[in-house]
């Protein structure tokens, strides 16, 4: 996810010169929850690189009906109409040609293979955690990350 954000923001930042804060609404899946140290390190690096305040707002479990991406998956299923997704190219082509509320998604196949089992040391986790502002009472569900100012 963070690689996609880097790619998108690198290409789009000229279109949004005044953006200082990026709010990311996301599910609390295992890849990107706020206690996932590798994700949190990488999203913090993103905030620093682009000098953005990043607000991570998580949907609670079993609340997918409020998450707009879940509606997109339904539209995608209708668009692909039961077609066999036997190759990545087939899936990508269907994704590129679908529309949702009159808009087409940005579609990019990521072929990078990520190393599994990468962990931060407890010391690194502690230092990283100092950077986070967790909303009291919703510590797992809302995190603010401010960029390091040089």
In a domain, 150, yes or no: no
Show the DSSP H helices in the chain as ranges. 2-12, 37-50, 68-80, 88-97, 122-129
145: its two tokens:
């990350």
| Mean per-residue pLDDT pooled into runs of 10, the chain (150 residues) | 91 90 85 80 95 91 76 83 88 88 87 87 92 90 88
What are the percentages of helix, strand and coil residues in the chain, rounded to 5?
40, 15, 45
117: its two tokens:
């089992």
Please identify which residue in the block is written with the tokens 């996810």: 1
How, if at all, do strands 53-58 and 142-145 pair? antiparallel
In a domain, 50, yes or no: yes
pLDDT for the residue numbered 23: 95
In a domain, 66, yes or no: yes
pLDDT for the residue numbered 150: 57
pLDDT for the residue numbered 42: 93
pLDDT for the residue numbered 144: 96
In a domain, 141, yes or no: yes
pTM of the full structure: 0.83
Residue 54 near residue 84, CB atoms below 8 Å:
no
pLDDT for the residue numbered 50: 94
Q: Cα(134)–Cα(56) distance, rounded to whole angstroms?
A: 10
87: its two tokens:
């190759």
In a domain, 113, yes or no: yes
In a domain, 31, yes or no: yes
Q: Cα(87)–Cα(69) distance, rounded to whole angstroms?
A: 23
What residue numbers bound the domain in which 103 lies?
2-13+20-145
State the total domains in the chain.
Answer: 1
pLDDT for the residue numbered 83: 87
pLDDT for the residue numbered 15: 92
Please identify which residue in the block is written with the tokens 């009159």: 102
Instruction: Say whether 95 sits in a helix, a strand or coil.
Output: helix
CA dihedral angle for residue 9, residue 10, residue 16, residue 17, rounded to 10 degrees = 130
In a domain, 71, yes or no: yes
Q: Cα(85)–Cα(82) distance, rounded to whole angstroms?
A: 9
């Amino acid at each position: 996810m963070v690689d996609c954000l880097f790619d998108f923001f690198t290409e789009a930042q000229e279109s949004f010169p005044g953006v200082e804060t990026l709010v990311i609404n996301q599910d609390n899946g295992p890849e990107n929850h706020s206690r996932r140290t590798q994700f949190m390190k990488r999203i913090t690096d993103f905030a620093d690189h682009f000098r953005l305040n990043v607000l991570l707002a998580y949907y609670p479990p079993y609340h997918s009906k409020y998450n707009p991406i879940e509606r997109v998956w339904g539209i995608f299923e209708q668009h692909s109409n039961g077609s066999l997704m036997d190759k990545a190219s087939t899936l990508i082509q269907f994704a590129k040609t679908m529309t949702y509320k009159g808009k087409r998604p940005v579609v990019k196949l990521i072929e990078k293979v990520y190393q599994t089992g990468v962990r931060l040391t407890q010391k690194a986790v502690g230092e990283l955690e100092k950077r986070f502002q967790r909303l009291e009472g919703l510590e797992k569900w809302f995190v603010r990350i401010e960029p390091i100012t040089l």
